């Protein structure tokens, strides 16, 4: 037994090298992995605070409707009632805070409408779709449809 121990000194060295590697790994891990990792799940817990601290870019349609009640009314009576204002106007939180200096974006119907209505086999069959080449014949969709109440 004694002899075997003496003759396996190199294996002890190998074990030490592996153990050292493992310890270095654990040290690196302790140093690198963020403290809040795993606090709630497989992600950095602190990230929730960081995301919360980010500036808000969407205001939500309820906010828009406070000032633009006529548009809201037109829209709620038309086929686009279900759409949020910012689905077409883009993120407009800055505009709601100071409407006169931050102008809201006014989308161009010629390019906006086809984003949702261009005929595409992947869309549900019940969704209204047109082939714009045949349907609009080069005119802007806005020439015939009113964006807030599109049904003619």
Partner 1 sequence: MPGVDGFMYPNEVELQWSILIVLYPYLTGLVAGAFILASLARVFNVKEVQPTYRIALLTALAFLLVAPLPLQLHLGHPERSIEMYLTPHKTSAMAMFGFVYLWYLLIVLLMEIWLDYRKDIVILSRTKTGFMRLVYRILTLGSQNISEESRRVDDRVGLIVTIIGIPSAFLLHGYVGFIFGSVKANPWWSTPLMPVVFLFSAMVSGIATVLLVYQVVNKLRGQPVHMFCLDAIAKYLFYVFVIDFSLEMLDLVHRIYESDESFRSLDFMVHTKLYFSQIILQIMLGTLVPLVLLGANQVMKFGESTRRKMYTVAGILTMIGIFAMRWNVVIGGQLFSKSFLGYTTYKVEFATREGLLPAIALLLLPLGILWVLLKLLPPGEEEQTA
Residues that bind ligand HEC (CB under 6 A): 59, 61, 63-68, 71-72, 75, 79-80, 82-83, 85-89, 92, 95-96, 99-100, 103-104, 106-107, 109, 112-117, 127-128, 130, 132, 135-136, 139, 141-145, 147-148, 150-152
Q: Report the nearest approach of ligand HEC to the CB of residue 43 (Å).
A: 31
Interatomic CA distance for residues 46 and 34, integer angstroms: 9
How near is the Cβ of 54 to ligand HEC at its closest, in Å? 18
Nearer to partner 1, 42 or 52 (CB): 42
Of 70-129, binders to partner 1 (CB under 8 A) are: 121-122
Give DSSP secondary structure letters for 35-62: TTBTSSSSSBTTHHHHHHHSPP----HH
Buried-exposed string 125-146: b where 16+ CB fall within 10 A, e elsewhere: eeeebeebeeebeeeebbeebe
Please, what is the minimum distance in Å from the beta carbon of residue 110 to ligand HEC? 7
Spatial distance between the Cα atoms of 152 and 150, rounded to a whole number of angstroms? 6
- In which residue are the tokens 């000032």 written? 67
Closest approach, Cβ 131 to ligand HEC, in A, equals 9
Q: Does 7 bind partner 1 (CB under 8 A)?
A: yes
Q: Which helix (H) or strand (E) holds 51?
A: helix 47-53
Q: Which of 137, 91, 145, 74 is nearest to 116 (CA)?
A: 145
Residues that bind partner 1 (CB under 8 A): 3-4, 7-11, 13-14, 17-18, 25, 28-29, 32-33, 37-38, 42, 121-122
């Amino acid at each position: 037994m004694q002899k075997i121990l003496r003759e396996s000194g190199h294996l002890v060295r190998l074990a030490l090298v592996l153990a050292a590697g493992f310890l270095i790994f654990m040290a690196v891990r302790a140093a690198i992995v963020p403290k809040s990792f795993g606090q709630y799940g497989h992600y950095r817990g602190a990230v929730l605070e960081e995301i919360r601290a980010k500036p808000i870019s969407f205001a939500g349609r309820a906010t828009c409707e406070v000032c633009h009640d006529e548009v809201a009314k037109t829209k709620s009576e038309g086929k686009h009632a279900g759409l949020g204002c910012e689905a077409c106007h883009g993120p407009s939180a800055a505009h709601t805070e100071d409407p006169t200096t931050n102008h809201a974006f006014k989308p161009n119907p010629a390019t906006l409408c086809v984003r949702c209505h261009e005929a595409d086999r992947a869309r549900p069959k019940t969704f209204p779709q047109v082939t714009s080449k045949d349907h609009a014949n080069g005119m802007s969709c806005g020439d015939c449809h009113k964006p807030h109440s599109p049904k003619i």
